[in-house]
Structure 1
Amino acid sequence: MTRLSSQMLAVLPADVIRPNYDRSQVKPGVVHLGIGAFHRAHQAVLFDDALNAGDLRWGITAASLRSPAVRNQMVPQDGHYTMLVRDGGSEQARIIGAVQDVIVAPRAPQALIAAMAAPDTHIVTLTITEKGYKLDPATGALIEDDAQLAADLLSLEQPQTAPGYIVAALARRKAAGLPPFTAISCDNLPHNGTRLRNAVLALARRHDAALAEWIAAEGAFPETMVDRIVPATTPDDIAALTMRLGVEDQAMVKTEPFIQWVIEDDFCGPRPDFGAGVQITAAVAPWEEAKLRLLNGAHSGIAYLGGLAAIDYVHDVLALPEARIFVETLWDEAETTLSPPAELDVAAYRRELMARFDNPTLRHRTHQIAIDGSQKLPQRLLATIAARIEAGQGIDALSLAVAAWIRWQVGHDDLGNLHVVDDPLAVPIAAMLGAAATTQDRVTAILAFDAVVPPALGANLLFRDTLVRWLTILETYGARAALETFRPN
């Protein structure tokens, strides 16, 4: 089958939206680290909007920090791919042309550094997941015994981490008399800009104190919040799109109509005149907190409880009335810990979230959301629990979500179906749970694991007792029974 490409755009069906700009005139103003489905359905679309509006400075040079899989999908297609926006029975196909090249960093580290150090590059964005920052979730310090980071601490000739590439590129820019770029984290981390800045400065100081001072004085690491649901693409999705387009698109993404990018007004160079979907603000933290504790916290609870109940998709979990009660109660608990901005109507936001979760055409898999739970729980659930405890409030729904995460670590659902626990801490967690004789012992082991649970929270008796109660029900009767047992406070 012929692949999607620049040449094939003219033969696509008339209802497919195409780029309206001359790609040969586009300059590569953005380098993106960690290209995956989320970037292709989110930031790349918004930069494509800027190109369509006539500002041709915002082409994207993308990089995979691991495998060549995405490069092999995109480069034969001249960087083009289809974004399918699905909402109920409707579907809109749009070709995105913003990505000009994809570099496989382990194969061409100097090419990536050169792209980041180029005069036309003004912004570097990142979607590398929580574990890609090489920061201890509890302390925020560099994880110096991480093999990749240890290599970057010794030399940045061939960086192995995202902070390593940023430091190497900024060093080259400084030497060439160029200003730094604005580095924008687009991962679901609290204070993600500050964390990225701290990681970069800590690594830079180990190599060149003057470089670190220059980055601190001249660079910019704005806080951001990103929001769009992007389920994983399946072979069936690609086959169906091939039938629709008449060409094969191996890099397609599917998503929902909703898109949001809130960015702190802290740039050290040019930025696009962003349109709909982007909000520049003085304070991102309230937006970020609401998204992490409402959308992401509920998503984690749905993923682990639904996955344990052998339910594949988010909308099918929420077809259970007891699951909807659980989610609404989790939101009731989380909402009391928020300080929402004046522009955010939390009640309306909750209604919108439930409608997004209910979208059956997205087919968002619970197993996809369950990945990397140890990296996600601190900001999605544990921080909310700590705030509730400090305020003398109950933590029943939030604790059920955490108990379901613990139960997920056994590697099988309630029907005995095996699943891979895809998590950087899966091995030590499995070892500590395997050595525990009782439910209480398992809870005690997890609460003492300060790589995930802050020590003060781990020592809290209310949290321990609530976890033991829920984990006992999950281990004895299963996730569906736990949901059926659940009652709002």
Structure 2
Amino acid sequence: MSRPRLSPGNIPAGVAPIGYVRDRTTSGIVHLGIGAFHRAHQAVYTDDALAAGDTGWGITAVSLRSPSTRDALAPQDCVYMVEERSGAGPARRLIGAINTVLVAPESPERVIAALADPAVHIVTLTVTEKGYYRDPAGDGLLFDDPAIAHDLSGAAPRTIFGYLAAALDRRQAAGSGPLTLLSCDNLSGNGDLLDRLLGAFLARRGRPLERRWTCPNTMVDRIVPRTTAADMDGAPVDDRGLVVTEPFRQWVIEDRFAGPRPRWEVGGAQIVADVHPFELAKLRLLNGSHSTLAYVGLLLGHTYVHQAVADPALAALLRRQIDGEAIPTLAPAAGLDYPAYADALLRRFDNPALPHRLDQIAIDGSQKIPQRWLAAMVERDARGLASPAYLLSLSAWIVHVGGTTGRPVDDPLADRLAALWQGAAGDAHAAAAAMVDQSGVFPAAFRDSAALPSALAAMLARLVAGDPRALIAAITAPALLTDQF
């Protein structure tokens, strides 16, 4: 028997209702990259602000690729449930902050018009690392990427830069107010990066614009696994937009807005002068640990985060990486207790009520590991310090993207990385050298180091030649001699 579809008029018992009267005619925010994370994070903070009495801050959400989210939400009047899971059981609430969902490839003109609307003051983005078309080795814009070249030609946009440039043109012509462009992706200095890449795009385009936008840096944190069919089957109503998540959430935003904003702080957002310490701690402790759990955990046969972190060997490796290698790269900062933060992370990871697939975390690793691992390794190398846990994590990533494990590799550089591995013909030292020199992932400081490339080659050779658990045991031994690695 089919269940009734979720709608504003069909809210099941036990679900916290929307706490305000919706006005779907007014959107003050456009969000680029609608997905589960946005619906469990920024949309929830905006929902809290609306419930606190803010008006005019509905969200026009944009899918840059697939119509699936629009097709899921439109029949439900764009409302959906957020289900928080913990040992205490699920807690569900209805979210009504999204007014409409546009699909960019179907209607690029509507997307540009939404961004250019004078009522819109903020553009938020969750387009993942690859949506910035950033050269991971050089940090510049990939001008030779076909999508960027297409947008520079003046055709209907395909990238965030094409859409933002077209909207900024219209806003300048109409004399509309300035925009706050708010990246919510896991990139170091995400606002500064967005500003720099957008500036490069505009400069290459050759049509000057009066600067009427800001790009504050942000840090976002909430674990949001991919919603499964079993999750939907277990919901009290048919909700095609359901997202499941943990109770914890955090949003730290640099106080550099171009104009008005919602009172996101009523939902717990932190508006601060400097995001960098929060961002670096999250990238190196949470995101870096997630990537280690993914690549090493998959190598050890695990499927979910909570299984991987419960593996004593892998937990010891993670502790070695966090306490011995990552935290020492973080400068003391007011309001941040790094050991306590790390302890809380491990408790969050160990949540069987929220199964988070390792292969989901492993997606797009070439775009993630420079800021999650490589930057810390380079800093440690400059101080004469070895990084054996990072080296093992990095070796596990190389094995994964080499395609030898039989698992699919979802990465924008997948073909290049697989070809480099295959070209080494089983020689781990040659594979490591090819990855460092030719993948485009490793920064110059890593490539030019006297120690790091050879240390990686030695670690990769040990990993592919022996038992990974024995190698982990050697690295995590209390009497570890770091010069052995």
Q: 1:5 aligns with which of 4, 7, 21?
A: 7
Is residue 425 from structure 1 mapped to residue 424 from structure 2 by the alignment?
no
- Determine the C-alpha separation between the residues in 1 that align with 2:147 and 2:126: 18
Tell me what 1:270 maps to.
260
Task: Tell me if the contact between 1:224 and 1:262 (Cα under 8 Å) persists in the aligned partners.
Answer: yes
SS at match of 1:8: coil
Tell me what 1:198 maps to.
196
Q: Cα distance 1:64–1:452, how it changes in 2: closer, same or farther (>3 A)?
A: same
Is residue 313 from structure 1 mapped to residue 313 from structure 2 by the alignment?
no
Q: 1:176 aligns with which of 159, 163, 174?
A: 174
Percent identity between the two aligned chains: 47
Instruction: Flag structure 2 segments of 5+ consecutive residues without an equivalent.
Output: 481-485
Tell me what 1:146 maps to.
145
Task: Tell me if the contact between 2:417 and 2:439 (Cα under 8 Å) persists in the aligned partners.
Answer: no
Q: How big is each residue's C-alpha offset from its partner over 1:183-208, in whole Å with a ceiling of 9 and x where there is no partner?
A: 00000111111111112122222335
Q: Cα distance 1:166–1:478, how it changes in 2: closer, same or farther (>3 A)?
A: farther
- Determine the C-alpha separation between the residues in 1 that align with 2:428 and 2:77: 54
Tell me what 1:331 maps to.
322
Shift of 1:453: 0.4
Is residue 460 from structure 1 mapped to residue 449 from structure 2 by the alignment?
yes
One-letter identity of the residue aligned with 2:370: P
Q: How big is each residue's C-alpha offset from its partner over 1:204-236, in whole Å with a ceiling of 9 and x where there is no partner?
A: 22335431xx12xx3110011111111111111
SS at match of 1:330: helix
Q: Cα distance 1:210–1:145, how it changes in 2: closer, same or farther (>3 A)?
A: closer
Is residue 231 from structure 1 mapped to residue 262 from structure 2 by the alignment?
no
Is residue 279 from structure 1 mapped to residue 270 from structure 2 by the alignment?
yes
One-letter identity of the residue aligned with 1:191: G
One-letter identity of the residue aligned with 2:410: D
Which structure 2 residues correspond to residues 29-428 of structure 1 after superposition, within 5 A?
29-155=28-154, 157-211=155-209, 214-215=210-211, 218-241=212-235, 245=236, 247-274=237-264, 275-332=266-323, 333-413=325-405, 418-428=406-416
- Determine the C-alpha separation between the residues in 1 that align with 2:37 and 2:297: 22
Instruction: Flag structure 1 segments of 5+ consecutive residues without an equivalent.
Output: none
SS at match of 1:486: helix
Q: TM-score, normalised by structure 1?
A: 0.94
Shift of 1:26: 6.4
Shift of 1:25: 6.3
Q: How big is each residue's C-alpha offset from its partner over 1:367-397, in whole Å with a ceiling of 9 and x where there is no partner?
A: 0100000000100000000001011112011
Q: 1:439 aligns with which of 413, 428, 431?
A: 428
Shift of 1:98: 0.6
Task: Tell me if the contact between 2:59 and 2:100 (Cα under 8 Å) persists in the aligned partners.
Answer: yes
Q: How big is each residue's C-alpha offset from its partner over 1:42-93, in whole Å with a ceiling of 9 and x where there is no partner?
A: 1110001101111122111000101111111111111111111011242101
**How many residues are paired up?**
473
Compare 422-431 and 191-200 and name the one that shifted more.
191-200
Shift of 1:324: 1.3
One-letter identity of the residue aligned with 2:201: L
> Once superposed, what is the RMSD of the aligned Cα atoms?
1.5
Tell me what 2:483 maps to.
none
Shift of 1:257: 1.0
Q: Cα distance 1:451–1:410, how it changes in 2: closer, same or farther (>3 A)?
A: closer
SS at match of 1:331: helix
- Determine the C-alpha separation between the residues in 1 that align with 2:302 and 2:469: 10
Task: Tell me if the contact between 2:115 and 2:167 (Cα under 8 Å) persists in the aligned partners.
Answer: yes
- Determine the C-alpha separation between the residues in 1 that align with 2:160 and 2:451: 39
Q: Cα distance 1:109–1:473, how it changes in 2: closer, same or farther (>3 A)?
A: same
Shift of 1:460: 2.5
One-letter identity of the residue aligned with 2:251: W
Q: How big is each residue's C-alpha offset from its partner over 1:427-482, in whole Å with a ceiling of 9 and x where there is no partner?
A: 01111110103110011111112610012312334323332333223323354443
Tell me what 1:483 maps to.
472
SS at match of 2:165: helix
One-letter identity of the residue aligned with 1:249: D
Shift of 1:272: 1.2
- Determine the C-alpha separation between the residues in 1 that align with 2:432 and 2:240: 43
Which structure 2 residues correspond to residues 19-30 of structure 1 after superposition, within 5 A?
19-24=18-23, 27-30=26-29
One-letter identity of the residue aligned with 2:333: P
One-letter identity of the residue aligned with 1:424: P
- Determine the C-alpha separation between the residues in 2 that align with 1:468 and 1:88: 43
SS at match of 1:249: coil
Moved over 6 A (4+): none
SS at match of 2:397: helix
- Determine the C-alpha separation between the residues in 2 that align with 1:139 and 1:409: 21
- Determine the C-alpha separation between the residues in 2 that align with 1:132 and 1:363: 26
Shift of 1:412: 4.7
- Determine the C-alpha separation between the residues in 2 that align with 1:363 and 1:299: 13
Task: Tell me if the contact between 2:24 and 2:99 (Cα under 8 Å) persists in the aligned partners.
Answer: no
- Determine the C-alpha separation between the residues in 2 that align with 1:482 and 1:164: 47
Compare 134-143 and 262-271 and name the one that shifted more.
134-143
- Determine the C-alpha separation between the residues in 2 that align with 1:131 and 1:164: 15
- Determine the C-alpha separation between the residues in 2 that align with 1:464 and 1:175: 52
Q: TM-score, normalised by structure 2?
A: 0.95
One-letter identity of the residue aligned with 2:257: F
- Determine the C-alpha separation between the residues in 1 that align with 2:40 and 2:357: 17
One-letter identity of the residue aligned with 2:281: A
Task: Tell me if the contact between 2:47 and 2:97 (Cα under 8 Å) persists in the aligned partners.
Answer: yes
- Determine the C-alpha separation between the residues in 2 that align with 1:392 and 1:71: 52
Shift of 1:308: 1.4
SS at match of 2:355: coil
One-letter identity of the residue aligned with 2:408: V
Task: Tell me if the contact between 2:84 and 2:91 (Cα under 8 Å) persists in the aligned partners.
Answer: yes
